[in-house]
Structure 1
């Protein structure tokens, strides 16, 4: 018979392997920012709220950061690597609602939000744009189209 502490440790280890949701060997970070967010930042190792604000030239205050990111606590002790936080609000210059990837065509007039199962080829088939245009309007997409992000908006018309 195993001691109780060993049995508990085995159960916890088994539960973690069953219930954790790894993506590329890391857990998916929770999201939660205001709907009018127009610019997103992905948290890096060692980031603190004041560091993120400094990266944007103090274009916004700590109070604004907290109001845009209600999931971040007032001590800023619950940021996680890979978590997306809002660093700007208003209307996007492209007309696409956030979240969008960097480099989106400035003259974009039509956007598509990626859903489960989408690939670049599925998106162009659904929207009628050419694959070449889709890539040129969305330069953040890699050549193999393996980095489309679920829920993100991509340009499908200029």
Structure 2
């Protein structure tokens, strides 16, 4: 009886993982831990906040307040998995981000379509793709 709960949890994880793999050609996976937030997952796993939300749009709501421990998320799709990231600080602008990461504004905005051209809608803790090649839409 002692092993019933852990075994049930493992079975649930296996079912979720197989569903994620079947759902998309996912390059990387992450199992949500208690206390995780989308921005924290993005920062530690080197995936942009936009990419995490987009790849898991069927699971994560816009506020990202519905993830739960044990849930398996896809971190990036084959050919579209940006692993070069930057965590936004409270003093960042488009200019500071592009300069610090040696990336053009055009590429930064292409990889982060949620960001407006003035970067006035970024927030501290948000994780941006700062790769020098364009990943969004698979054009890398």
- Normalising by structure 2, report the TM-score: 0.44
- Normalising by structure 1, report the TM-score: 0.40
**Comparing both structures, which one devotes a greater share of its residues to helix?**
2
- Structure number with greater Rg is 1
